[in-house]
Amino acid sequence: MTNEFEEQYNADDFNDDDIVGTEQQQTTSESESEMVTEETQEFDFNKASKSTKGPERENLDGKTVVISDAKIILPKEETEWNLSRNKKCKYKQCKFIMFYDNEGQREYYSGIKMFERMVDGKSKLSEPNIQNDGKTQATMLKQVYAKYKGKKTEEVSMHEFLSFLKSKPKARLESKPFEYDEKITNKNTVVEFVN
């Protein structure tokens, strides 16, 4: 069974059946020499990331960046519920991502949750929430914003906070250690918004 790429490769448009013998070899070597010019460089495999995940996180400690975008990714419907510490309510976690203008760097902030709400006997999700007095990364970011605006954290609505993050504000970052699954990761977190 062939896949779609084999079918394309075997199509007449992609075959050079009209080129034969040394003529084909000459054409290939000419095109190869055109591909490697003084303007192009070959990638050094020794510089390849040793991580099995995406590009490695750069240390942006002390740098001022622009938050080029912010996104909340909602949990899938089939995601399992988590039980709160007091075991009185269920919640699902969202992914909260800050995109920085520094060479495509981004950071995931933990702490945005959606709680279970019973509506007409059916389990539904609340809107995304950030605790005002928690110790999560999202709470810390909201507290930095409240300080920048001269407000108490509980005076800042989610709409105001998220709208500000979408406005491409400038922020100073610090590299801070966070533990997750018994592993320490240094994250580039916002510690101050600047004008």
pLDDT digits (tens, 9 = 90+) for 111-130: 999 999 999 999 899 999 99
Give 54's pLDDT tier (boundaries 50, 70, 90).
low
Give 37's pLDDT tier (boundaries 50, 70, 90).
low
Q: What is the pTM of this model?
A: 0.71
List of residues 6+ apart from 22 with CB closer than 8 A = none
Name the amino acid, one letter, at 90: K
What are the C-alpha distances in Å from 76 to residues 84, 119, 126, 191?
19, 19, 14, 31
**What does the pLDDT read at residue 55?**
67
**What does the pLDDT read at residue 52?**
77
Instruction: Answer whether residue 31 shows pLDDT above 60.
Output: no
Q: What are the tens digits of pLDDT across the range 81-118?
A: 999 989 999 999 999 999 999 888 999 999 999 999 99
Q: What percent of the chain shows pLDDT beyond 70?
A: 79
**Residue 79 backbone dihedrals phi, psi, to 5 degrees:** -60, 135
